Structure 1
């Protein structure tokens, strides 16, 4: 319920702080006194858009703060899902800065307008004559039936099943698109993969082949250079090995005379051994080196194949070609596996579809069972409101479409008088009749579910006398289980309130401001008397007002 409303610098309101108890609160005031401003301020708290025209003083920010008791609304899960701090007394604050920027806070945590609108839908339900058009909306009609049918749990199950079904269908759509794309490329991908597989590529192969090609192309030059090196090394008289041996022999003679000479001897001996090993290696390499035109041709062909494939795939190394080969292999395998995955998901979708259909049928049956109870309850209340011949015809039929709240299509037909045919509610019901029907619907719903605070904004327009009394009685009865506020011009309804507020304008210096005041008993008597007889309050009007209050 709405516990407190604080308004600062909004429209004609300079500063307002008002506490609202539970039960029925009635709000009265002359036309233009500021009742719409009060609703506008509440609208901002509920997430309506704002602009600079809302500021009374354009140099100061506008602040609207409302305190709500939400312990009975089962909103803890909503707060957790939206990452808000849950408090049993939740504070919503809306600020409009002189710059035009708007900010919203829930329990001092910033929120966006969409989150605020969703939360506001759980807290306050504002109804005016214009908003009775909701009755003509099929989804709203279904909500009414579901409240009577007690479909809350089944609808939660249905929504989860539908979400799972939509998720699988979404996956299937993506896989089908992927399959179609792969099918178009399948033959070409298979050809490219086979071409790479036939090349029998190996890591590092290109570098090795390029080195071998260089060797095979220069075999004569290499042999000539190796032969010259071997000749210098092995010449009998002046070869390097012979000279090293002679140096070794000369140093050996003096190696025993000094550690220094011994060191030279050891080093030359090691050098001779190493050089002798090099000469053997050169000789072995020389012997193996032969002119091999066939191998040259094979290496050249393989390299040309690698270069051609690289150019085709716009890469420069065998490693990159192997990566492409792996990718193509994955695509080809994936195309083969997609059918199996699609078949599996189709099977899962059919199972969930069966579950959804079963749940939808259960929802449908409960709705059908609730309709007689609903129509009987509404028509009984409408009879009290001066519509004794009102008749409703709710038709609920299963369709093939999966809606967010089941598979039902609903039509609501209405007849206000005996002997008249049923017609669509929005076409055959007058504004006054729609107001009374909405009140009756809300009264019935209040008996079946925990509704948010309801504000009736002149929903009593077009009625008077005994019907006004009955409307007030219904609002009073509703307020036994919820907070109800009625903005009214009718004294009969104003008198029903557990508390009575008056909206009025006053002049402060050169400024006109709107104010809201809770009336004492004596002030209520005078306000209701004025509503009965006008500004010139008669003694009979005062007595009549006192009688209404008692």
Structure 2
């Protein structure tokens, strides 16, 4: 509920501070006294955009602050979703700076207008004849029916499942799109993969093949040089081995004379052993070295293949080719497994569809069950508001598509006159009739859900007598479960309020100002008497005012 409102430097308001109580509050005042200014200031709290024309003094900032007690509104989840600090007593403040910039705060934390609008629509509902257009929206009509049908839990579950369903549908479409593109590349990727698989790639193989190719391709020259080396090592008179053996024998005879000669002997002996080993290896190499044209052709072909593959894939090593092969294997495998993945995704969607169908059917059944009761309540209230022939024709039909609030198509038709045709509300009801229909609907809703504070702005326009009395009774009844304000010109309604506030203009230092004050009992008598008979109150008007208040 709205517990207090402070307005500074706004339009004709210099500095206004007023506290409100729960229950039914009345706001009255002469035409032009500034009720619209009060509503305009309050609308800024609700997120309406502001401009410099709002400032009374353009050199000072405008500040509008409202305090709400929201302990019974169950708004902690909303505060968390909007990243706001929750307080049972929540303060909303708007500031309009002389520069034209506007700032908004919730519990002293800055917020943007979108967050402010989301929050404020759960706190206060300013209802004027213009807002009756809300009645004609399909979304609002569903809200009425679902409130009576107690569908809140089912709708919440439905929305969660619908979000998951849409995610699955999106994922399926992405898979199908990917499959379309993948199929185009699949054959080419498979061809490239087969080339690499058939090449039987082995890391380091390219270098070994190059070495083998050089050997096989130059075998005659290698043989000639090995033979020459063999001769140099083992020629009988001047071969390296013969010379080293002679040198060894010579130094062996000296080795006993000094350690110096012994060292020389050991070094020559080591060289002889090494050369003897070289000689044996050269001998083996000669024996094993044979021309092999067939092997040369195989090695040459493999090298050409590897070289071509490296050029095709723009790499320089076998390791890189192996990595490309692994990547191609993954692509081909993904493409080949797509059918199974897509089928599994379709099965998930089918399961989710079944869940949604079950929930939406339950929602539909509860809606269908409550419609006769809603129709009867509305028609009874409207009859008491001077519309005895008002009738509703409300039908719900299930459709194939999953809509944001179920699978129902709603037809909410109205006829104001006996024997008249049923039509959409905006075509079948006048502005005054729409106001009464909205009052009837709000009064019904107040029995089923916790509505925010509601402010009726001259909803009684165009009615009088017993109908206005009944409208007052309805608003008074609503105030038992919620905070209700009524801006009215009718004394019959004004007398029913628990609290009564008066909007008035006054000149202070040759400057016109708008103010709002709470009336005591005697002041209420005067105000209602003036509403009955004008400024020159008669004794009968005063008596009538007292009678109304009693």
Confirm or deny a common fold (TM above 0.5).
Answer: yes
Q: Distance in 2 between matches of 1:340 and 1:183?
A: 15
Matched with 1:167 is: 167
Q: Deviations over 1:378-402 (max 9, x none)?
A: 1121122111221111111112221
Paired with 1:97 and 1:255, the residues of 2 have a C-alpha distance of 114
TM normalised by structure 2 equals 0.87
TM-score after normalising by structure 1: 0.87
Q: Aligned equivalents of 2:546 and 2:250: distance in 1?
A: 144
Q: Does 1:426 align with 2:411?
A: no
| Residue matched to 1:489 | 489
The equivalent residue for 2:185 is: 185
Tell me the equivalent position of 1:93. Answer: 93
Residues 255 and 265 in structure 1, CA contact (< 8 A), matched pair in contact too: no
Match of 1:465 in 2: 465
| Distance in 2 separating the partners of 1:512 and 1:225 | 121
Partner of 2:332: 332
Task: Report the equivalent of 2:405.
Answer: 405
Residue 67 of structure 1 corresponds to which residue in structure 2? 67
Segment of structure 1 superposing worse, 200-209 or 374-383:
200-209
CA 454–246 in structure 1, closer or farther in 2 if over 3 Å, else same: farther
SS of 1:463 mapped into structure 2? coil
Instruction: Tell me, yes or no, if the aligned pair for 1:231 and 1:239 is still in contact at 8 Å.
Output: no
Instruction: Quote the residue 2:107 is aligned against.
Output: 107
Q: Is the 8 A contact 2:244 2:272 kept in 1?
A: no
Shift of 1:144: 0.7
Structure 2 CA distance for partners of 1:532 and 1:194, relative to 1, 3 Å: same
1:441 Cα offset (Å): 0.5
Tell me if the contact between 1:213 and 1:299 (Cα under 8 Å) persists in the aligned partners.
yes
Tell me by how many angstroms 1:45 deviates: 2.8
Q: How does 1:199-238 map to 2 (within 5 A)?
A: 199-214=199-214, 216=216, 237=238
- Equivalent residue for 2:297? 297
- Where 1:448 maps in the other structure, the secondary structure is coil
Q: Give the corresponding residue for 1:449.
A: 449
TM-superposed deviation, 1:319:
3.0
Query: Which residue of 1 is the match for residue 529 of structure 2?
Result: 529
Aligned partners of 1:256, 1:506: CA distance in 2, in Å?
A: 139
Q: Report matched runs for 1:306-321 at 5 Å.
A: 306-321=306-321
CA shift at 1:467, angstroms? 1.7
| 1:331–1:493 distance in 2 versus 1, CA, 3 Å | same
Bigger shift: 238-247 or 336-345? 238-247
- Superposed, 1:135-174 pairs within 5 Å as 135-174=135-174
- Cα shift at 1:512: 4.5
Superposition deviation, residue 421 in structure 1: 2.6
Measured after TM superposition, the shift of residue 250 of structure 1 is: 4.4
Count of residue pairs the alignment pairs up: 549
Backbone CA RMSD of aligned residues? 3.4
2:73 aligned counterpart, secondary structure: coil
Q: Which sections of structure 2, spanning at least 5 residues, go unmatched?
A: none
2:198 maps to 198
Matches of 2:33 and 2:307 in 1, distance apart? 88
Equivalences for residues 360-379 of structure 1 within 5 A: 360-379=360-379
Paired position in structure 2 for 1:18: 18
Paired position in structure 1 for 2:414: 414
Given that 2:223 and 2:289 are in contact with CA atoms closer than 8 Å, whether structure 1 keeps it comes out as yes
Paired position in structure 2 for 1:386: 386
- Cα separation, partners in 2 of 1:135 and 1:220, compared to 1, 3 Å: same
Q: Which runs of 5+ in 1 are unaligned?
A: none
Distance in 2, Cα, partners of 1:108 & 1:37: 25
Residues 89-124 of structure 1, C-alpha deviations (whole Å, 9 max, x = no match): 223333444555444333344444333322223222
